[in-house]
Chain A
Amino acid sequence: MNTQEPRISIHTGIATRSDATVTSALVDSTSPVNALELERQVDYIMDECLFALGQAVGMRTTIDYDAVVWIRDNYRAKFLSAMKAFGDRWQRDRSNVTSVAMMLGERAVRYSEGKPSIDLDSVLKAAADVERHCELHARRTARKMGLNPSDAAATRIAGYWCNF
């Protein structure tokens, strides 16, 4: 796990371009040992996100297995890419990211109304909403930080957990 503190103070849950450069240099994700450690960490992160998703859904409904499979395949790849670029920032970002997972759960419940459970279609629609929200949030954040919000790289870095 990367336990290095960044040299630049940052807003919670947001990586700046300069942070990214610093952290990438510190993490050296090309090392096989680090790559294996990130693979291990991302599995814990997926577990925690699914837990948060379940918290939001509560006992209102259940979820289909193919929807769980899609969530894991989609977000594990995104999270792993983000971690390979920025290092393991989970302890700092987990409150924000699990909140977004809860938002995904809420949207999925809404899209599954009238169905016996949350199916893949409901999850795909909910994920599109959440990713749009993250992208807008990232653009606003990039603007606040003085980055060009139309610069894809800048916004990708600001909302890196779900947009990477």
Chain B
Amino acid sequence: MTPAQEVDYILNDCFFAVGQAVGTEKSIDFNVIQWWRARYRAFFLHAMTVNGNSWLKDRKRVTAVGRFLGQRALFHAAERPSIDLQTAALASHDVETGCRMSAERDGVAPQRLGEQ
């Protein structure tokens, strides 16, 4: 299977994880699904192209991050009945900031000097 084919299964796996954390108390706007897919498909494909497909090795860690994304979306949605695009963008920002810090700490990504 090529990375372009495999990434769709991986995204489905991750959407399942996000849904787990969101639970049934809120729904999601369809444009959020579209936005998250476009964003993370590109990120994942890049990672798979550069580092190879290590999904089975990384799955536990990445789906845990997916659940964290769902938790942050739930937090930012507050009283709103559904997770909208603004909420999703805030949640993604939280999660990606955390991932960047982990990568820098682990020496996988260069430190961004001047950023706190």
A binding-site residues for B, Cβ under 8 Å:
43-44, 46-48, 50-59, 62-63, 65, 68-69, 71-72, 90-91, 94, 102
CB contacts under 8 Å to A, within B1-54, are: 8-9, 11-13, 15-24, 28, 30, 33-34, 36-37
Please tell me the number of chain B residues within 8 Å of chain A, measured between CB atoms.
Answer: 26
Would you call A51 and B21 a contact (CB within 8 A)?
Answer: no
Main secondary structure of the interface of B (DSSP, over half): helix
Shortest beta-carbon distance from A128 to chain B in Å: 20
- Chain A residues contacting B22 (CB-CB under 8 Å) are 51, 54-55
Would you call A54 and B18 a contact (CB within 8 A)?
Answer: yes
Would you call A59 and B15 a contact (CB within 8 A)?
Answer: no
State the CA gap A57–B21 with chains docked (Å). 9
Main secondary structure of the interface of A (DSSP, over half): helix
- Chain A residues contacting B36 (CB-CB under 8 Å) are 47
* Given the contacts A55-B20, A59-B21, A48 and B28 also touching, CB distance less than 8 Å: yes
Shortest beta-carbon distance from A17 to chain B in Å: 28
Would you call A46 and B23 a contact (CB within 8 A)?
Answer: no
List the count of A-B residue pairs having beta carbons below 8 Å apart: 79
Residue of B nearest to A71 (CB): B12
7 new A-B contacts, CB < 8 A, other than A47-B37, A54-B22, A65-B13, are: A50-B15, A53-B16, A54-B15, A54-B16, A57-B19, A69-B9, A91-B30
B binding-site residues for A, Cβ under 8 Å:
8-9, 11-13, 15-24, 28, 30, 33-34, 36-37, 55-56, 59, 63, 67
- Chain B residues contacting A94 (CB-CB under 8 Å) are 30
- Chain A residues contacting B12 (CB-CB under 8 Å) are 46-47, 50, 68, 71-72
- Chain B residues contacting A52 (CB-CB under 8 Å) are 19
- Chain A residues contacting B18 (CB-CB under 8 Å) are 51, 54
